[in-house]
Amino acid sequence: MRSCVRRFVCFWLSVVTFLAFFTPMAHATRIKDVADFEGVRDNMLVGYGLVVGLDGTGDSLNKAVFTKESFIAMLDRLGVRAREEALDSKNIAAVMVTANLPAFARSGSRIDASISAIGDSESLRGGTLLVTPLMGADGSVYAVAQGPVAIGGFSAGGAATSVTQGVPTNGRIASGAIVEQELPFTLNGMKSIRLALKNPDFTTSQRIAKAINNNFGADVARSADSGTVELTTPPRYENNVAQLITQVEQLPVTPDAPARVVINESTGVVVIGDNVRISRVAIAQGNLTIRVTETPQVSQPGPFAEVGQTAIVDRTQVDVLDDGKEKKLAIVNGGVSLQELVTGLNALGISPRDMISILQAIKAAGALQAEIEVM
């Protein structure tokens, strides 16, 4: 009998151990989602170009001087001599072209390009971008863009009214830019790698370094500060740094975040972090509404009256409504969780904008253990 019980207990211990080993960490996130590898990033490109082929929705050449000068310069390069006084076209628009050059993009590969009008053009629908060099911050040309522009909005109207949906002066050319020059950056041979945290935090930085050291079984990573983790390349990965980065970015880590309440007063949006806690407080909320009603009356003389004239007499009624008469103080216990805090505030029947005022008042009372950030 004892041997059966022993085997039964051993069996369930094995099952629990198996499940615990293969169960993912609570709230665990991959390192690649919370940190970037220094040097492995996009580079922003910008250029100035012309979009042609518009159906009368382009720039006014008399008002957009830069469009007119660019148009004349383009025709001169093509061997066409244009007279300024004869230029009166609405089928061309000056635009700014932007793109992101990914890390390790090779010469000949294609990237997306975004188009934005800078003149008084009404729409870029149906237009084609002419050859536009895209430059980096150092002034060098890294890509060239050209092609038909696709927009996500439209504009239509008549003499009395018009309808606009989306932004017809913004467009995009999918794979419309060709990379002409590569960025010089080599991974192999790097003695150390630095990880930059997207949300700097000392606890998260220490956890990342610990996760890396546990994976490689050696002290190869250390937390330099709240936003940086320095990783020394192990000898066996010096000629294969890409494999090292692949292993590191897949490691799970539980990021930490400070207690924070984010408020957008213009839209009434309130976002409360998971670690927000409050001390025991009493809350009362009420609204005072003043309603003013205008009911003008018409006064006119009687029939066949020889004296008098029709007049409008103002009648104003002012009502004061106190919506908080039936509302009383509510007790919110200290150390409550996020769910309990939201439930307690919702029980008071308050709107998001009133919640903003209540949270700010709780903070002023010293009972909110969190940082309030107003956007």
- Residue ranges of domains in the chain: 43-154+163-179, 186-253, 261-300+310-374
Give the 3-state secondary structure of residue 181.
coil
- What's the chain's average pLDDT? 80
Instruction: Report residue 337: phi and psi, to 5°.
Output: -80, 175
Confidence of residue 24 (pLDDT cuts 50, 70, 90): very low
pLDDT score, position 13: 45
- Are 105 and 179 spatial neighbours (Cβ–Cβ below 8 Å)? yes
User: Residue for token digits 């937390």?
Assistant: 223
Q: What is the pTM of this model?
A: 0.66
Task: Tell whether the torsion through CA atoms of 55, 74, 97 and 64 is positive or negative.
Answer: negative
DSSP 8-class letter at 266 = T
CA dihedral of residues 297, 303, 309, 313 (deg, nearest 10): -10
Cα angle 25, 28, 34; round to 5: 160
pLDDT score, position 15: 43
Quote the CA–CA distance of 89 and 119 in Å, as a whole number: 14
Give first-to-last CA distance, the chain, whole Å. Answer: 69
Instruction: Name the nearest CA neighbour of 356 among 259, 267, 270.
Output: 270
Q: Quick: pLDDT tens for 214-271.
A: 999 889 999 999 999 999 999 888 888 889 999 999 999 998 888 888 888 777 788 8
Share of the chain above pLDDT 90, in %: 33
Quote the CA–CA distance of 34 and 196 in Å, as a whole number: 9
Residue 10, pLDDT > 70, answer: no
Quote the CA–CA distance of 326 and 305 in Å, as a whole number: 55
Neighbours of 31 (CB within 10 A): 24
CB burial readout 331-345, b (16+ within 10 A) else e: ebeeebeeeebeebb
pLDDT score, position 260: 83
Confidence of residue 166 (pLDDT cuts 50, 70, 90): confident
pLDDT score, position 25: 44
Query: Average pLDDT in the 89-97 region?
Result: 92
Give the 3-state secondary structure of residue 231.
strand
User: Residue for token digits 């390349």?
Assistant: 233
In this structure, what token pair is assigned to residue 54?
A: 């518009």
DSSP 8-class letter at 334 = T
Quote the CA–CA distance of 353 and 24 in Å, as a whole number: 39
In this structure, what token pair is assigned to residue 110?
A: 């294609």
pLDDT score, position 305: 64
Rg (CA), the chain: 34
Query: Average pLDDT in the 133-155 region?
Result: 89
Query: Average pLDDT in the 136-141 region?
Result: 92
In this structure, what token pair is assigned to residue 168?
A: 């017809």
